[in-house]
Chain A
Amino acid sequence: MTSASLAGGLHVRACWTAGSLHDWQLSLVRPPVTQALLGVAPEQALARVPLYFSLCGHAQREAGRLALLASGWATEEPPESWRLWAECLHEHLWRLLLDWPRHFGAAPQTAAFAAWRSVRGKGRSALTVATARVLDETLGGDGNGGLLAPGLSRLDADGASAVRRGLEARLAAFRAALESLALDDVYPHGSGGRPAVGYGEAWIHTARGALRHEVRMDGGRVAGWRVEAPTDRNFSSETGIVKLLPADLPTRAAAQEAVERAVLLLDPCVPYEVEIADA
């Protein structure tokens, strides 16, 4: 295994010929972090999980805790729900304030995002107010069209209706997460297991979809730990990308842009590259 493959990331490649794409190659490589959880006590494993993930550390830890609980190895108390909503909102805002504006040729709203991030440690009420302000003043929540309005119009002009619907759904998901933060809703999750054999599995909501953890315990030690992130499902093949492409891809450049949009909408949680080649 090379350093590049160990680094983790997503590479999407396809060939363009006469208006269509073929010979897809998707390569998704994960760092082998769960290896470091094998053989350790459950509380040690749980302490390590959030250290390994730069995004969704709270959700990763909670999914792991729920899976351990389902396996019969009761562990610590759950986190406060609002911290999980805050993490979910962070991931939505990264895309909505930085990546989508950049994709549409506008300046990323780094200062607004940094200002929002600085409020995360000040509690649920302060974060609710700060998030509502971002929605109203930047993302068009007060009916002023918002940062992404020109981009949404451009998607219409490009025939990218599926991506437009997806981006609108992302905005709606952001609004729903804000409402849940305001109401201090229970964070969505589920779990099941067979404690008699030390097996547990759990899922937890994230901005990208359900995050799943599966654990096997043996003699009080972790014998197996599997993580399935939304990125694993969304990029297991090109199917999800193809569903988001417009019918007409008249040039290689148009195809490149369309695939980049589709990948951005599917939102990989690792660095990625898109390469569209002439056949």
Chain B
Amino acid sequence: MCLAIPTRVVELLPDGQALVDLGGVRKTISLELVDDVLPGDYVIVHVGYALTRLDPEEAERTLALMKEAGIDVAGEAASA
């Protein structure tokens, strides 16, 4: 029941890695399980892997819903 937080890809890194940002928290994740991710895309991250690529509108809508629910998305990003 891990929270699905849309996370923005900031930069592609070597070896299938990427730098992502959520609420100012930046971390490196693996893109090995998803294809065709570009900087600016949003992905769902679980235990260090990007699981799904989202369209930006869906991502923004989900982030807004989470904020409405009082969920600290920056805190979530630190652990995803």
Residue of B33, B52, B74 with most partner-chain A CB within 10 A: B33
In the complex, which residues of chain A have a beta carbon less than 8 angstroms from the beta carbon of B66?
A: 33, 36, 52
Contact of B1 among A6, A113, A114, A231 (CB under 8 A): A231
Rounded to whole angstroms, the CA-CA distance of A111 and B3 in the bound complex is 25
- Does A175 sit within 8 A of B, measured CB to CB? no
Interface size on A, residues (CB 8 A): 35
A53 near B1 (CB under 8 angstroms)?
A: yes
Contact of B72 among A3, A55, A229, A231 (CB under 8 A): A3
Q: Mark B44-77, 1 if CB is under 8 A from A, else 0.
A: 1111000110000010011001101111101110
B65 near A54 (CB under 8 angstroms)?
A: no
* Contact residues on B (Cβ < 8 Å of other chain), bracket: 20 to 34
- Does A270 sit within 8 A of B, measured CB to CB? yes
B65 near A51 (CB under 8 angstroms)?
A: yes
Given A111-B32, A118-B35, A51 contacting B4 (CB threshold 8 A): yes
A6 near B72 (CB under 8 angstroms)?
A: yes
- Does B78 sit within 8 A of A, measured CB to CB? yes
In the complex, which residues of chain A have a beta carbon less than 8 angstroms from the beta carbon of B12?
A: none
Rounded to whole angstroms, the CA-CA distance of A163 and B67 in the bound complex is 40
A32 near B69 (CB under 8 angstroms)?
A: yes
In the complex, which residues of chain A have a beta carbon less than 8 angstroms from the beta carbon of B37?
A: none
Rounded to whole angstroms, the CA-CA distance of A2 and B75 in the bound complex is 8
Given A32-B69, A48-B65, A54 contacting B4 (CB threshold 8 A): yes
* Nearest B-chain residue to A108, judged by Cβ: B32
Q: Is the interface of A mostly helix, strand, loop or mixed?
A: helix
Report A81 CB to chain B, min CB distance, Å: 21
Rounded to whole angstroms, the CA-CA distance of A54 and B45 in the bound complex is 8
B79 near A54 (CB under 8 angstroms)?
A: no
Given A53-B3, A54-B2, A6 contacting B62 (CB threshold 8 A): no
B interface list, Cβ under 8 A from A: 1-5, 30, 32-35, 44-47, 51-52, 58, 61-62, 65-66, 68-72, 74-76, 78-80
A-B contacts besides A55-B1, A60-B1, 9 pairs, CB < 8 Å: A6-B71, A7-B78, A31-B3, A36-B68, A51-B58, A52-B65, A53-B4, A55-B2, A117-B33
A interface list, Cβ under 8 A from B: 2-4, 6-9, 30-33, 35-36, 48, 51-57, 60, 110-111, 113-114, 117-118, 227, 229, 231-232, 269-271
